[in-house]
Amino acid sequence: LCMMEKFEPVLTPEELRSRLPSWPYFIIDLQLWDGHTKKEKGKLCFQVNQSYGLLKDYFTGSELAITWAGEEFRKTFNGPLDRLTVYEGPTAEFLREKKIEEVVLLDPWAEEVLSEKDFDVKAFIIGGIVDMGGEKKLTPKIGEELESAGIRVRRRKIVLRGDVIGVPDRINRILGIILKMMVEGKGMEEAVYEMQ
């Protein structure tokens, strides 16, 4: 008995999990799905599938969560629906279920530039938006919706030499830039060049 007392107690699964690295969620928010044409919806699905491919090279793929994923999305998407996280409800509801209170929203209209300090959040949100030219100010709406549901939102932009011009705005490219910075430890410039 005396000997036994020298050993550390066995960890509970909960304690064990807290010692393992936990990957954040990368959420593609589809709340603006209905505002897209059929062709754009097809492109959006394609970019979601590309994002899944990218993510499973780094993690498992299930860290990719698609929120506001209605029936039309599920029908149009011809990727492995069962390997990613598909959530029909609002993003804020998904976050609440996962006990996530603060997120980074990738937003080309943000004031602040994404940095290493932002890599401590448990979820990154990318707007499920396809608009060539990108002059419409749509992503901030996603931020407002989250904030009104009580989520803390850090709006962050990705820039090249101080400007969003020159940064590819496709969802999968944006995800690729974050992954190169976060997992490979690359600087923003380098990550952007590699994803162009």
Binding site for ligand SAM (CB under 6 A): 106-108, 126-127, 129-131, 134, 136-139, 157-158, 164, 167, 169, 171, 174
Listed in sequence order, the DSSP H helices in 113-170 are: 139-148
C-alpha angle 40/46/52, rounded to 5°?
140
Q: Which is nearer to ligand SAM, 103 or 126 (CB)?
A: 126
Q: Which two tokens stand for residue 50?
A: 């590309």
At 74, which amino acid appears?
R
Q: Which is nearer to ligand SAM, 86 or 164 (CB)?
A: 164
Provide the minimum distance between the beta carbon of 120 and ligand SAM in the complex, in angstroms, as a whole number: 18
Q: Which is nearer to ligand SAM, 15 or 34 (CB)?
A: 34
Q: What are phi and psi of 26, to 5 degrees?
A: -115, 110
Q: Which is nearer to ligand SAM, 79 or 140 (CB)?
A: 140
Provide the minimum distance between the beta carbon of 143 and ligand SAM in the complex, in angstroms, as a whole number: 10
Q: How far is it, in rounded angstroms, from Cα 178 to Cα 111?
A: 18
Provide the minimum distance between the beta carbon of 34 and ligand SAM in the complex, in angstroms, as a whole number: 16
